[in-house]
Amino acid sequence: MYEQWKKIGFVFDPLTTGLDWMRSHAQNPMPEHLGGSTYRVYFATRDEKNRSRGAYFVFDLERPFEVLEVSRMPLIDLGPLGAFDDSGVMPSGLVDNHGRRFLYYTGWSRTVDVPFAFHVGLVVSTDGGRTYERPHLAPVLGRNPHDPYITGAPFVLLEDGLFRMWYISATKWEKESPEAKPRHYYTIKYAESDDGLAWRTNADLCLAYEAQEYAIARPIVRRLKDRYEMWFTFRGGANTYRLGFATSPDGRAWKRDPSTIGIDVSPSGWDSEMICYGCPFEHDGRLYALYNGNSYGSTGVGLAVAKE
């Protein structure tokens, strides 16, 4: 685990774009290497009604504070009225499948007795990522016997023809009193697929809750030579989100590190209250991480690098 990090700084603020559908948030940043030191970063942004859509910005690691491009239209827009994703979409995992690009996302809908529902959706591009279309209007991983409540935040690897997904699944909703708002309890699970569309789930949890935790979210999995590494976001009790770390020999059974990733809150500013949704990536032999700060990414995206 990398415990010593240097914060490079705040690299993207959605408020600077002036777009009506990008009023706040650059949540769940996910980088894609375009060549050289240039990266496209996918994220979820929100409009004035707090509805999220998929977007991206492009930046250069050698000039990280200069935004080279921002999507002018949503990369993934809201689903039709009544669909599982009519209130929000959040891109989360990207896979190249024999020239077709599979972009997995979380689709949100509003509910009555609990605050929300979300499930795993998919859009597919056949033109190199310029445009994406839904293969159908249903989620690719919705409610099932092992996930009776909600599924989301999918991260997918394609290994030897097998699609492997790590995602969050709710284990219950709970009210502390009749007047209280329901609280979600969700953690990370694992599923497999032969085609990226139909998924085999199971009852096992990748990570168990610890102490007063009730939310273990946004898994990012890296395959190394001798193991898998997972970054995730967790919170419990009065604590706001922090970044956690786990390892696995096979991607199924995970051992959680008792400490955090090591990217901590700042004394003041945009990431002074919360560190969440971290996404590590390697460039020229160094490990970098994009991450969100306060209010679940409402303030934008930061960049850090592991110290040598």
- Tokens 């390892």 correspond to what residue? 247
Which residue(s) pair with 147 in the sheet? Answer: 144
Output the CA angle 36-93-262, nearest 5 degrees.
75
Listed residue (113, 11, 13, 121) closest to 65, CA to CA: 11
For residue 229, what are the contacts with CB-CB under 8 A and spacing of at least 6?
221, 222, 245, 246, 247
- Provide the pLDDT for residue 82: 97
Q: How far apart are CA 159 and CA 233, in angstroms?
A: 24
Residue 237 has pLDDT above 80, yes or no: no
Residue 163 has pLDDT above 90, yes or no: yes
Domain extent listing, the chain: 5-306
- Provide the pLDDT for residue 259: 86
Mean pLDDT of 36-49: 98
What tens digit of pLDDT does each residue of 72-130 get? 999 999 999 999 999 999 999 999 999 999 999 999 999 999 999 999 999 999 999 99
Instruction: List the single range of 51-55, 180-184, 196-200 with lowest mean pLDDT.
Output: 180-184
**228-236 vs 183-193, strand pairing mode:** unpaired
Which has more pLDDT, 299 or 308? 299
Confidence of residue 260 (pLDDT cuts 50, 70, 90): confident
Which residue(s) pair with 89 in the sheet? Answer: 107
What tens digit of pLDDT does each residue of 116-142 get? 999 999 999 999 999 999 999 999 999
Q: How far apart are CA 176 and CA 37, in angstroms?
A: 49
Residue 243 has pLDDT above 80, yes or no: yes
The backbone torsions φ and ψ at residue 15, rounded to the nearest 5 degrees and listed phi first, read -70, -20
- Provide the pLDDT for residue 1: 54
SS3 61: coil
Confidence of residue 3 (pLDDT cuts 50, 70, 90): low
Q: What tokens appear for 300 in the block?
A: 């934008």
Q: In whole angstroms, how far apart are CA 248 and each of 96, 122, 223, 224, 300?
A: 24, 27, 10, 10, 31
Residue 2 has pLDDT above 60, yes or no: no
Q: How far apart are CA 192 and CA 163, in angstroms?
A: 6
> Residues 26, 12: contact at Cβ < 8 Å?
yes
Confidence of residue 191 (pLDDT cuts 50, 70, 90): very high
CATH of domain 5-306: 2.115.10.20
Q: In whole angstroms, how far apart are CA 73 and each of 21, 57, 298?
A: 9, 12, 19
- Provide the pLDDT for residue 192: 98
- Provide the pLDDT for residue 205: 98
> Residues 293, 272: contact at Cβ < 8 Å?
yes
Listed residue (189, 186, 193) closest to 202, CA to CA: 189
What tens digit of pLDDT does each residue of 292-303 get? 999 999 999 999
DSSP state of 16: G
